[in-house]
Chains A and B, each alone.
Chain A
């Protein structure tokens, strides 16, 4: 546990020492606020719908940039060698790095709260606080899943740009398979399967304010699965 914290601490601070964290935060806030104020001014509505509905897509563009360097950079500079010859397990390093990126995601989501307060003030009939909280929880789980996928892609890429594009593609596939316009074209049972594999199904179910064990299980196992793959990928260097 101590080693995980040590890795987490270094990685989390490294985010703030590089310009990448700031670029990502500014880009993300600009995009989400734009989407929010567009509905605010055009439709004259103060609603968080647009913000949460677009989150899977804004995350898609932004979160792979958080994880693209996670392993690719260590491999490129060679720092991975002193790191993995320390008395730590691969699992500890993977988890420490992963949790650091999730923590940054948490910071990013915290920075969107002014939006929520403005809606609270401006909206005529107020907002459903429970549902908003649940939507945030769903956003955290969704983002954490993106990060797990991005982390895994980074673990086998030597180049950050390649890692970015590949993770974006991998996440996009998981986003698209659950969407109605895809499931519409396939046969009954298979369409149910696709809908359940898709990320959006589970995300929007949480967004409605429903805490369903199946959604938790889905996100939990996705995160575990990709962290596990990352660990195996990092271990595989030994037998190269």
Chain B
């Protein structure tokens, strides 16, 4: 449904998207994950035809975005990051306008409007002006607009930003509900969201695609990150013994009120909990706490993108408006 190959976008000399290729097929929800300014929004703007790629191309539902821009755009429902709406219009008015512009047939339009108002939970707000709506309802109108012509492809730029937790859950379940029939690309910088909603995750950093896969696959990509935190009292030389355990790569520790707090990093695939316990007992120490923290998607994210926020603001600064 979405095929992207070698997509590159430069703002003047600044490389915003660098040779990105991926595809999204029907029934998939693909999460586009990356720090601010990584190139998520820029990629989406190129896919929806707001910006032209500097190099490479993409196709949507089989229509090339450069050669058949109108057909490609007709196949996409797009929720831009800004969710800018015409504030002076009424909700239904706005949806009717967008529906006509998307090419929904005149006779079908009222039915479609009723549908998306239902789907997006806008019934109570339908007769208000957009300027009277809260941020959450703005977001819903934006989403309703994207669904109007029942497009096979949805591109949603941070669909849950600015929403309260209850609304986030609602929008998320809405997206999962409609996902079966569609190819959905959504961007986010919220990790749990990507983990919960998306069937596949793309991690982008500095314009480059640095990781791709299900959250499980991504976790496997980052090795040596099993961690144990241990709290001990007494027992001389426990620390040295722990360091010598098979699979341990590093131990850091500090003393607090006569308790030794240590963080043990180990290679993947070794469950060291029992041996840590045994070691503590053998060296006469009292084990107060032992917990195992395996790699989180956050660790994957941080390790794949380097430090976060390094380039923050660059993307926003280069766009007009």
Footprint of B on A, CB under 8 Å? 2-3, 6-7, 9-10, 14, 17-18, 75-89, 158, 237-240
Docked CA distance A85–B320 (Å): 15
Chain B residues within 8 Å of A240, by CB: 11, 51, 318-320
Task: Say yes or no: A82-B84 contact (C-beta < 8 A), given A3-B101, A75-B321, A88-B101.
Answer: yes
Docked CA distance A77–B145 (Å): 17
Judge whether B74 and A87 touch: CB under 8 Å.
yes
Tell me which of A18, A75, A86, A158 contacts B88 (CB under 8 A): A18
Chain A residues within 8 Å of B87, by CB: 77
| CB-defined A-B contacts under 8 Å, sample of 13 | A14-B86, A75-B320, A78-B82, A80-B84, A84-B49, A85-B78, A86-B73, A87-B101, A237-B320, A238-B51, A239-B52, A240-B11, A240-B51
Docked CA distance A77–B89 (Å): 14
User: Interface residue count for B (Cβ, 8 Å)?
Assistant: 33
Docked CA distance A108–B86 (Å): 25
Tell me which of A10, A18, A77, A87 contacts B70 (CB under 8 A): A87
Chain B residues within 8 Å of A2, by CB: 100
B48 touches A (CB below 8 Å) = yes
B22 touches A (CB below 8 Å) = no
Chain A residues within 8 Å of B98, by CB: 82, 86
Chain B residues within 8 Å of A17, by CB: 88-89
Judge whether B101 and A85 touch: CB under 8 Å.
no
Tell me which of A6, A87, A238 contacts B50 (CB under 8 A): A238
Docked CA distance A84–B85 (Å): 13
Residue of A nearest to B99 (CB): A6
Docked CA distance A78–B78 (Å): 14
Docked CA distance A16–B45 (Å): 32
Residue of A nearest to B54 (CB): A239
B76 touches A (CB below 8 Å) = yes
Chain B residues within 8 Å of A87, by CB: 70-71, 73-74, 101-103
Residue of A nearest to B97 (CB): A10
Residue of A nearest to B319 (CB): A240
Judge whether A79 and B11 touch: CB under 8 Å.
no
